[in-house]
């Protein structure tokens, strides 16, 4: 069983201390939902978890080893879907997904299966520049589905999605958890998830 821990994390952005003395733990088959008002550090924490940011204090570890010791190994075990869609407008929808899949060492779903899972397989050959905001978000979510990663880090994953699409993606997260995966999610949307833990980042 894998364990991902944050111990006494501090993070300063600009001149503001965003996180101070923060602890968390997540293991196989668990979902951690980050809560708190805007500006309390949810996105910052996800970026720390991904390795895109380094904490000013404390440590993040996977099975007792600092993720900073082997960034490549951590990149292989996690996928991060942030606010930016990172969809290349000149490429087709399918080409975008195939590109993201190609950079993974142990990819999972095929590009077409991932597009079908988010309900846009019929748009596979459309240039991405013609997509709506909601469609671009669905394309972005395929990064998680094709990654083969155990740890999904999701920052407001259902932004611009309707209720049905949000609920469907919630079911996808549940399936990932049931297969032994982990997910850390910042969301203001009810994804229909059950048996989750919450980490409130708002000052007490």
CATH number of 29-34+68-200: 3.40.50.300
First and final CA of the chain: distance in angstroms? 32
pLDDT band, residue 204 (cuts 50/70/90): low
pLDDT score of 122 more than 70: yes
pLDDT digits (tens, 9 = 90+) for 165-192: 999 999 999 999 999 999 999 998 889 9
162: Cβ contacts below 8 Å, ≥ 6 apart: 134
Q: What mean pLDDT, rounded, does the chain reach?
A: 95
Please state, as a whole number, how many other Cβ atoms lie within 10 Å of the Cβ of residue 131. 20
Q: Where are the domains of the chain?
A: 29-34+68-200
Helix pair 93-102, 133-147: axis angle to 10 deg: 30
42-76: pLDDT as tens digits: 999 999 999 999 999 999 999 999 999 999 999 99
Give the pairing of strands 197-200 and 31-35: parallel
Q: What is the pLDDT of residues 67-112, one digit of tens each?
A: 999 999 999 999 999 988 899 999 999 999 999 999 999 999 999 9
């Amino acid at each position: 069983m894998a364990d991902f821990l944050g111990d006494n994390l501090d993070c300063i952005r600009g001149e503001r201390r965003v996180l101070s003395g923060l602890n968390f733990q997540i293991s196989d088959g668990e979902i951690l939902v980050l809560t708190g008002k805007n500006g309390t550090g949810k996105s910052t924490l996800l970026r720390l978890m991904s390795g895109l940011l380094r904490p000013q204090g404390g440590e993040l570890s996977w099975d007792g080893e600092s993720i900073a010791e082997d960034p490549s190994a951590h990149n292989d075990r996690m996928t991060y879907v942030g606010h930016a869609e990172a969809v290349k407008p000149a490429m087709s929808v399918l080409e975008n997904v195939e590109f993201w899949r190609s950079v993974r060492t142990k990819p999972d779903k095929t590009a077409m299966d991932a597009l079908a899972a988010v309900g846009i397989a019929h748009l596979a050959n459309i240039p991405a520049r013609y997509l709506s905001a909601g469609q671009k978000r669905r394309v972005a979510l395929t990064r998680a589905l094709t990654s083969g990663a155990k740890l999904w880090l999701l920052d407001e994953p259902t932004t611009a999605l309707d209720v049905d699409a949000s609920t469907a993606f919630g079911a996808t997260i549940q399936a990932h958890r049931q297969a032994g995966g982990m997910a850390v999610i910042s969301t203001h949307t009810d994804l229909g998830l059950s048996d989750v833990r919450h980490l409130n980042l708002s000052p007490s």
